[in-house]
Amino acid sequence: MWHVARHRAFVILIITVALMSAAAGLVCAAAPYDSYLFNFWGDKAPAPQAYIPVGLVDGQSVGTGPFRRPQDMAIGPDMRVYIADSGNSRIIRLSPELEFELEIKSFVNDGQNDSFRNPSGLTVTDEGELYIADTDNGRLVVMDKDGNLIRIIGEPESSDRALIKDDYIYRPLKVEVDPLGRIYVLAANVYEGIFQFDSDGSFHGFIGAPRVKASLADIFWMRIATEEQRAQFQLLLPIEYANMGISTDGMLYAVLRETAVNKNHEIVKKLNPAGSDIMSRFGQLPIIGDIQVSGSDFVADSAFVDVLGRDYGMFSVLDATRGRVFTYDGNGSLLYVFGGIGDLLGRFRNPVALGEIGNKLVVLDNRGLTLFEPTVYAQAIHEAIQNYDGGFYKEAAEMWQKVLDQNPGFEIAYNWIATTAVLEQDYGTALAYYRLGQDRSGYSQVFSKLRQQFVSDYITWIMLGVFALFIFLFVGPRLRISERISRRLGLADNPRILAELSAHLDAMPNGAVPKRKKREFFVRKLIDSVLYSLHVIFHPFDGFWDLKHERRGTFAAANVLLALTIFTYVVIRQYTAFPFNYLKVSEISLVSDTIGILVPFLLWVGVNWAFTTLMEGKGTAKEIYIMSAYALTPIIILNLPATLASHMLIEAEGSLLTLVRAISVIWALMLLLLGTMILHEYTMAKTLVTAVLIVCGIAAALFVGLLFTSVIDHISRFVLTIYSELRYRL
């Protein structure tokens, strides 16, 4: 019976897996594009589908004839959809069910028939009034929902010629109206920002002018340029806006046209009535759509053409480069991505506008309207944000946990749960989830509270520990505490006697001295030589002189110090506290960490010996090796305690950790310089010249090594290709 039950359970498991695979296949078939997010380091991470396409509405299907270069759409409060079919110079109105209702190609204006010329933008107010940017006619046309003219707003007029010049040709491209009736217009060839009109249509000025950040080179040339040359610099204009949109809470969102040149990552703006950008950019990554990692910076790989403000602070942006829709929360964190370029349902040809009908998103492109329906995954995200916005934090955390059940790699969900845990003063859970979500700022804020609580609880013991440390450091030398400890450990032998005895033992015949005695003296000599590095780093002139002439340093001790340096580097990379550690798990490699220290060190020793041999240097290769290893001691004695102390610091105190590491490196470099001077008996000037030559030699050696590796790689590929061809033909 047990075997029968096990067999049935196995069959049920197989059927379940098959059904889940079939369901996943259906979802993938319904969504012909990849869904992904970006992790903390900017790498793509797969994610469940958030929206799937459910239909395409084009001009043929609704009976209006093919759309020709549609440029914009608007969705009214009654869910009717208006399309600016620019190529046909008409406005199309569709019902909430996306059925054709009305075509507006002409209207009565002052008793005469009037028409549009390339209408490129439109919007619908809460009262149902339709504002149309009649581009080539240089005006705004205001109509009711049935296409009857209400009024016309002409080109802006201003007595201030600095605002509008006499030869300026007004060509409105996009229009929006906020709940208070203020009218915002994007126009062609305008770099001062967005036109703002009062509700009566009078020009009020510009808002939201994009900032221009001149480079240091621009500032330098501007200083030395002539008047004519400075006039040319004035052509460095700000970036134009591509589109804008009013959110459900009345805020004006806008996107810049060219993203690649906007290095400050302020591509999407949220403008208040005064025109100031109040966008929250607290996400771990910038709001730039698709991301390309360039060194330590993130570069935009998208070109936004529309923005849609949504409920609860969310907003979506449309990327024309790859046809994707990116949705962010109110903090600027990416929630999901969908869409693509192509001819399949769910992909677009030249997408231009983005809208929302109920719970569906709709994208306008050259073919028409593509409708997308949220999946259970997206609905869970929306419900979680809604609960949090409404103050239902426990319910929000439960919904985020459901999101994580579908996508365990969703870092933002961990941070939302951690934020909820902070509100409930569950700091242990908050720390764990902030770590999973790679949120170092949130982690530091919680850790700061725990640290304050710990200090208040154990202040007495902390003060006793500080007092004991003070006694050991300042009173201990008077009581010779360290000497007594060293004597107990067998480290208080006279260094000169140890050296003479070691040389005497080496000179004696094999077998004359027991191996145990030899090992004992070797260990004592090794410990003494390693500890002598502490004298070298504080007294470099005497220390490096004794290393060479008094034989205070040994090859074995140098190996120990080099090994400790490698160990320190590994500890720094892998065990620095979370707020200061940006190492990927996939990058952890003991071999690469070892090579990262060993290869530069050996190159320094080899090139140092090669150049100083030609420049009458007095040091041998072995002495250079020993000197260089002893010069690395500051890296060991400063960074190991600093790495341990990093677990007691918060993100705002990271400058202390950076300072200690910088001091250790500068200290080690100074010791290398002084050691080279003393070892080879150079002057400081000659030492500096030698150091520069050594650095150039190392660079040349690396170049030759890379070139040799590349040549070997090409030869091996060529041989393999020839072998494959011969094998295929024979």
> pLDDT at position 19, please?
39
Count of H-run helices and E-run strands, the chain? 21, 29
pLDDT of 482 strictly over 60: no
Distances (CA, A) of 18 to 32, 420, 659, 666: 21, 37, 57, 62
Instruction: Kindly indicate the confidence band of residue 310, based on its pLDDT and cuts at 50, 70 and 90.
Output: very high
> Are the CB atoms for 436 and 413 separated by under 8 Å?
no
Instruction: Kindly indicate the confidence band of residue 554, based on its pLDDT and cuts at 50, 70 and 90.
Output: confident
Does residue 606 lie within any of the structural domains?
Answer: yes
Reported as a single tens digit per residue, the pLDDT across 78-89 is: 999 999 999 999
Overall average pLDDT of the 150-179 stretch: 85
pLDDT of 175 strictly over 90: yes
SS (H, E, C) 612-668: HHHCCCCCCHHHHHHHHHHHCHHHHHHHHHHHHHHHHCCHHHHHHHHHHHHHHHHHH
pLDDT of 177 strictly over 90: yes
Q: How many domains does the chain have?
A: 2
Look at the alpha carbons of 212, 164, 181, 136 in this order and tell me if their dihedral is positive or negative. Answer: negative
pLDDT of 240 strictly over 70: yes
The values of phi and psi at residue 657, to 5°, are -65, -40
Reported as a single tens digit per residue, the pLDDT across 657-684 is: 999 999 999 999 999 999 999 999 999 9
> pLDDT at position 593, please?
87
Overall average pLDDT of the 33-44 stretch: 92
> Are the CB atoms for 277 and 265 separated by under 8 Å?
no
Look at the alpha carbons of 621, 625, 630, 631 in this order and tell me if their dihedral is positive or negative. Answer: positive
Does residue 262 lie within any of the structural domains?
Answer: yes
> pLDDT at position 713, please?
82
> pLDDT at position 100, please?
93
Does residue 113 lie within any of the structural domains?
Answer: yes
Reported as a single tens digit per residue, the pLDDT across 698-718 is: 888 888 888 888 888 888 888
Overall average pLDDT of the 536-563 stretch: 88
- 3-state SS class at 584: coil
- DSSP category for residue 111: T
User: Per DSSP, what are the bridge partners of residue 197?
Assistant: 183, 203
Tokens of 420: 């909820």
pLDDT of 15 strictly over 80: no
> pLDDT at position 12, please?
39
- 3-state SS class at 283: coil
Burial of 469 (0-12, 13-18, 19+ CB in 10 A): exposed
Instruction: Kindly indicate the confidence band of residue 510, based on its pLDDT and cuts at 50, 70 and 90.
Output: low
Q: Alpha helix locations (H) across 490-554?
A: 495-507, 515-538, 540-549
For all residues of the chain together, what is the average pLDDT?
84
Comparing 156 with 729, the larger pLDDT belongs to: 156
Q: Domain end: 359, 374, 389, which one?
A: 374
- 3-state SS class at 482: helix
> Are the CB atoms for 175 and 140 separated by under 8 Å?
yes
Tokens of 338: 């969908």
> pLDDT at position 18, please?
40
> Are the CB atoms for 624 and 605 separated by under 8 Å?
yes
> pLDDT at position 337, please?
96
> Are the CB atoms for 304 and 259 separated by under 8 Å?
yes
Distances (CA, A) of 434 to 327, 422, 429, 634: 22, 10, 8, 34
Residue-range definition of the domain harbouring residue 531: 520-712
Overall average pLDDT of the 534-540 stretch: 89
Give the CA diameter of the chain. 125
Comparing 260 with 521, the larger pLDDT belongs to: 521
Closest residue by Cα to residue 75 from 484, 405, 445, 355: 355
Instruction: Kindly indicate the confidence band of residue 28, based on its pLDDT and cuts at 50, 70 and 90.
Output: very low
Give the dihedral of Cα atoms 366, 367, 373, 378; nearest 10 deg.
-30
Instruction: Kindly indicate the confidence band of residue 248, based on its pLDDT and cuts at 50, 70 and 90.
Output: confident
Percent pLDDT > 70 in the chain is 83
pLDDT of 302 strictly over 90: no
Does residue 77 lie within any of the structural domains?
Answer: yes
> Are the CB atoms for 655 and 642 separated by under 8 Å?
no
> pLDDT at position 549, please?
82
Cα–Cα distance for residue pair 561/547, rounded to 1 Å = 14
Cα–Cα distance for residue pair 641/653, rounded to 1 Å = 16
Q: Choose the most confident range, by mean pLDDT, from 7-16, 78-87, 483-492.
A: 78-87
Strands annotated E in 272-367: 291-294, 297-300, 304-309, 315-319, 324-328, 334-339, 353-357, 360-364
Reported as a single tens digit per residue, the pLDDT across 88-135 is: 999 999 999 999 999 999 999 988 999 999 999 999 999 999 999 999
Tokens of 527: 């410990």
- Strand 324-328 to 315-319 pairing: antiparallel
Distances (CA, A) of 59 to 56, 65, 98, 419: 10, 5, 11, 48
> Are the CB atoms for 289 and 227 separated by under 8 Å?
no
**Which residue is it, tokens 């933002």?**
412
Up-side HSE of residue 434: CA atoms within 13 Å toward CB? 22
pTM given for the model: 0.80
> pLDDT at position 521, please?
62
Does residue 565 lie within any of the structural domains?
Answer: yes
pLDDT of 56 strictly over 60: yes
Does residue 393 lie within any of the structural domains?
Answer: no
> pLDDT at position 14, please?
38
Overall average pLDDT of the 302-314 stretch: 93
- 3-state SS class at 548: helix
Q: Domain end: 309, 342, 374, which one?
A: 374
pLDDT of 405 strictly over 50: yes
> pLDDT at position 531, please?
86
pLDDT of 218 strictly over 70: no
Tokens of 46: 């797969």
> What's the one-letter identity of residue 70?
P
Does residue 85 lie within any of the structural domains?
Answer: yes
The values of phi and psi at residue 147, to 5°, are 90, 15
CATH of the domain at 78: 2.120.10.30
Overall average pLDDT of the 546-559 stretch: 85
Cα–Cα distance for residue pair 515/192, rounded to 1 Å = 86
> Are the CB atoms for 539 and 678 separated by under 8 Å?
no
User: Per DSSP, what are the bridge partners of residue 205?
Assistant: 196
- DSSP category for residue 579: G
Instruction: State which H helix or E strand residue 184 sits in.
Output: strand 183-187
pLDDT of 11 strictly over 80: no
Q: Domain end: 374, 391, 420, which one?
A: 374
- DSSP category for residue 261: T
439 contact partners, CB below 8 Å, separation of at least 6: 284, 411, 414, 415, 418
Cα–Cα distance for residue pair 260/299, rounded to 1 Å = 7
> pLDDT at position 670, please?
95
Between 7-21, 543-557, 573-587, the lowest mean confidence (pLDDT) is in 7-21
- Cβ neighbours, 10 Å, residue 725: 10
Cα–Cα distance for residue pair 566/508, rounded to 1 Å = 36
Does residue 453 lie within any of the structural domains?
Answer: no
